Amino acid sequence: MREEDLDWVVYHCIPENGGVTTGDLAAATGLEPGEVTVSLERLERYLLIRRSGKTVRLMSVQESLIECQCRYTSDLPFIIENGIIKARRREE
């Protein structure tokens, strides 16, 4: 199975409200836990999901847009670190 097809299957097994564990996703998809973990890493890198401990949840469109802007705009006065908005430290 191609990576994008695998990611599609995993993504669509994550409930819209609430979270799910990697083990639950492996059981729901019939995939090996290692395959699910690699897929989740890609989905997180693409700003589609958020992982917190063992729980995985979908990111809203708004969350994804803010994360994207923070990641790729270096002159913002703030950063988001582990879900917390912090003032950016200025190096002088």
- Tens of pLDDT, residues 10-57: 999 999 888 999 999 999 999 999 999 999 999 999 999 999 988 999
Integer Cα distance of 19 and 53 in angstroms: 11
For residue 92, pLDDT beyond 70 = no
- Between CA 39 and CA 9 the distance in angstroms is 10
Task: With a cut of 60, say whether residue 73 has pLDDT above it.
Answer: yes
- Domain chopping of the chain, boundaries: 1-59, 60-92
| Domain topology for 1-59 | Arc Repressor Mutant, subunit A (1.10.10)
In this prediction, residue 89 has a pLDDT band, given cuts at 50, 70 and 90, of confident
**pLDDT tier, 85 (very low <50, low <70, confident <90, very high otherwise):** confident
